[in-house]
Homo-oligomer: A and B are copies of this chain.
């Protein structure tokens, strides 16, 4: 199968028993259950605000995404503590939970971003979550605070056998000066940084291979096909599993094409949010089924 040769397998990760048990459930016990990941994130209400829901009013109720995660057979739902506390109990055990441990609003300026902790690894254990999520702003002038904060999370997660998924985002004024957060350079560095700091799974965005690389390091100043860029980024994740974000809502065709290209390049899975749930329930379910069909082609 395309991509399989560079895809990292659970058994290669040298995980302790708890991390392995929990990742196994995400990879083989739920969702496509073939070693791929299909995660539904609903943290945009905090990160972007309710504006993301105004065009698809059903989606304003978090119950919408929880039902969708269950009915659409997602590998897991990823959300903040507030939603987990109020909505997860009725789904407990039926769909795995990924608890996001930090977050922020988009209201203040983003030139020195830092995502403060909103919950703890122990909260995740208490809620029965199978992984925790952490947003790392690679390149932020406040990376020292970010790294220190992440170190605590990584250590706690190791102690409790909880897999760590890093939302690895290049961000901040220095990144902007070097071509912005969507260059292959920026995302590649973010993937490697997450690997270096101890991520078990790395979430990155799909790069824009048209983005201007003239201010990026010399080694990146060449033409990149999307395939080459994706492959480079996935390899930069090392033995951390790499999954790709869906980004803004796109058509069903575009969404599936993006999914296919990520998987062909060796990704372990997808974490598609808005492009899935900014639809009617019926349309979201239809798209989820299509993604399932696609992922069935990438057993690992």
Q: Say yes or no: is A289 at the interface (Cβ < 8 Å to chain B).
A: no
Q: Say yes or no: is A104 at the interface (Cβ < 8 Å to chain B).
A: yes
Q: 14 pairs across A/B with beta carbons < 8 Å?
A: A12-B86, A14-B90, A17-B85, A21-B92, A45-B196, A51-B185, A54-B219, A54-B220, A81-B197, A107-B170, A107-B189, A117-B148, A118-B151, A126-B161
Q: Say yes or no: is A93 at the interface (Cβ < 8 Å to chain B).
A: yes
The reply to whether A219 and B126 form a contact with Cβ atoms under 8 Å apart is: no
Interface mask (A198-235 → B, CB under 8 Å = 1, otherwise 0): 11000000000000000001111000000000001001
Interface range on chain A: under 10, 10 to 19, 20 to 34, or 35 or more? 35 or more
Stretch at the interface among A136-144, A251-259, A267-275: A136-144
The reply to whether A86 and B147 form a contact with Cβ atoms under 8 Å apart is: no
* Residues on B with beta carbons closer than 8 Å to the beta carbon of A114: 144
The residue from B60, B107, B146 contacting A174, defined by CB atoms under 8 A apart: B107
Report A's interface with B, CB cutoff 8 A. 12-14, 16-25, 28-29, 43, 45-46, 49-51, 54-55, 60-62, 80-90, 92-94, 97, 103-105, 107-109, 114-120, 122-123, 125-128, 138-141, 143-148, 150-151, 154-155, 158-161, 170, 172, 174-175, 178, 185, 188-189, 191-199, 217-220, 232, 235-236, 238-240
